[in-house]
Amino acid sequence: MFSTKLVENRLFVPCIVVTDVPMIHTFIMDTGAKYTCCSYKNINPVLTEAECSGLPTKVIGGFVGNAGVKFYHYPVKQFIIGNIDLKSRKVWITFNQLATDDVLGVDLLQDVSFLYKRKSREIVFFDDNTVKIG
């Protein structure tokens, strides 16, 4: 189980992302976002855009005003939300320096369970395969 508190009306979730080296990065939880999206620097800081040329791409809006931003569907060896290991996944990365928010979207959130505790303004993540409720 893992928990984090609401700060400035946002839920900041520390994650570990492993490519060639492990990176610890904080994502903003967004249940309205379809995809997990972030800057390449927070996944693999030595990665170049040329290395992503064969990966699927998508233009996603909402990161830089109304303009679309180009993202690459990048494979990671391991993605851990708090202490919940989601194993290998793909996340959407961009090289656009204007995209500043790193978002934890429903593509990954759908594989964990979470509960918002209104009084403490805290969200608790858990793997319902290992934690029994009820």
CATH number of the CATH domain containing 37: 2.40.70.10
For residue 65, name the pLDDT band (cuts at 50, 70, 90): low
Segments forming the whole domain that contains residue 58: 2-126
| Whole-model pTM over 0.75 | yes
CB atoms within 10 A of CB 33: 19
Residue 17 lies in a domain: yes
The per-residue pLDDT for range 107-127, each reduced to its tens digit, is 999 999 998 888 988 888 887
Residue 133 lies in a domain: no
Mean pLDDT, residues 56-69 taken together: 79
Residue 63 lies in a domain: yes
The per-residue pLDDT for range 29-51, each reduced to its tens digit, is 998 899 999 999 999 999 999 99
What are the b/e assignments for 74-92, b being 16+ CB within 10 Å?
Answer: bebeebbbbebebeebbbb
* pLDDT for the residue numbered 63: 64
The per-residue pLDDT for range 49-59, each reduced to its tens digit, is 999 999 999 99
CB burial class (10 A; 0-12, 13-18, 19+) of residue 46? exposed
Identify whether the C-beta of residue 116 lies closer than 8 Å to the C-beta of residue 123.
Answer: yes
Residue 27 lies in a domain: yes
* pLDDT for the residue numbered 127: 79
Residue 72 lies in a domain: yes
Residue 117 lies in a domain: yes
> Is the pLDDT confidence value at 61 over 90?
no
Residue 74 lies in a domain: yes
Instruction: Count how many domains the chain has.
Output: 1
Residue 109 lies in a domain: yes
